Amino acid sequence: MKTVVVGMSGGVDSSVAALLLKQQGYQVIGLFMRNWDSTINNDVLGNPHLHDFICPQEQDYNDAASVCAKLKIKLQRVDFVKEYWDYVFTYFLTELKKGRTPNPDIMCNKYIKFDLFIKEAKRLGADFVATGHYARLVDGKLYRALDKNKDQTYFLSQLSKKQLQDVLFPIGDLTKQEVRRFAAENNLITATKKGSTGICFIGERKFTNFLRNYLPIKPGPIVNLTTKETIGKHQGLMNYTIGQRRGLNVGGQQEKLFVVGKDLKQNILYVALGDKNEFLYSDAAIIENVNWLGSHKPKQCLAQFRYRQSPQAVTLEYLTNDTIKVLYPQKIKAVTPGQACVFYAEDECLGGGIIKEALFNNQRRHFL
């Protein structure tokens, strides 16, 4: 009998993954990861009890334990708090200091869930490792999940082919609705549990309040590129992302303003009027730290520049071994430095990289 170690998060997806594997005849072991110590950073606004509501890992662990007990499988627990800080959270802060919008989930998968976790699973005797990700592996290649709305291959794009060896994605052929129904039919406590959203280590508090614990606020001017006027003051460039409309707090503005750029040297936040303004759209981008899941390096393919975005037809120009220029003459809205650009051939995920900068007419924005 083959042994599978399943990453148990305390959610419905990993619960059903474990159930399916047990029904398929595997010896299943659950492994719960603790990646963040929610007590280490008290709220700067003086609420001493706020940490009780951030990253409720104990509740997640209790839910995972309940599911494992019902399925009659062992549950182990492992602590990766230091490693998460070193490999994921430090990266997160460094990217924010550069004025970029990082995606810590991608780095968590690369360095924690599909590296340290797999090593711990092998130590426990695993023949295979499984997670509750919505993705599929076919003949060693990574494909989108059946449920395109929940597909998570975007977050797996920095993995190596070696990391995906001996990995199982049991729910990749199911829809989220089917997963919940299956959990309910088997009386799993997580069947109706709300899925996690946002960044786990920030939890319920506001993003700006959380960052005050780690990065100093440097207010500066907000410049409207449509009118060339200074119209307000921003609360630190790290608190804004390209394409953002809400939270600008610019008084007297009746029409919609969108963040379109940042000038780190002069500490200026640039905005422009309307979601069709020219400053919000680019026709090329430089992608660095490109990771390929196989040997296929296309000249043309589909690219996804953020998680909730439809794939776009692009042409690739190879600059160095891990840097690419991506061309899209149809123009794409809010291509954001720090986010991932992930490449696809239909449903196959070919790999991806990190957006360094967006270009207009193949050049940097003139206001930067």
> Annotated catalytic, 341?
no
Task: Name every residue whose Cβ is closer than 8 Å to that of residue 46 and which is 6 or more positions away in sequence.
Answer: none
Residue in 309, 292, 306, 314 with CA at minimum distance from that of residue 339: 306
- Catalogue the E-assigned strands of 96-196: 128-130, 135-138, 141-144, 167-168
What does the alpha-carbon distance between residue 247 and residue 105 come to, in Å, rounded to a whole number? 24
Residue 75: its H or E element: strand 74-79
Instruction: Please give the Cα distance from 262 to 280 (Å, whole number).
Output: 12
Catalytic residue among 68, 200, 301, 341: 200
Task: Give the chain's length.
Answer: 368
Closest CA to 117 of 14, 18, 36, 31: 31
Active site (annotated) includes residue 108: yes
Q: What CA–CA distance (Å, rounded) separates 88 from 106?
A: 9
Q: 289 Cβ partners below 8 Å, 6+ apart?
A: 158, 322, 353, 354
Residue 132, both tokens: 């509750």
Which of 55, 108, 301, 341 does the annotation list as catalytic? 108
Active-site residues: which are they? 108, 200
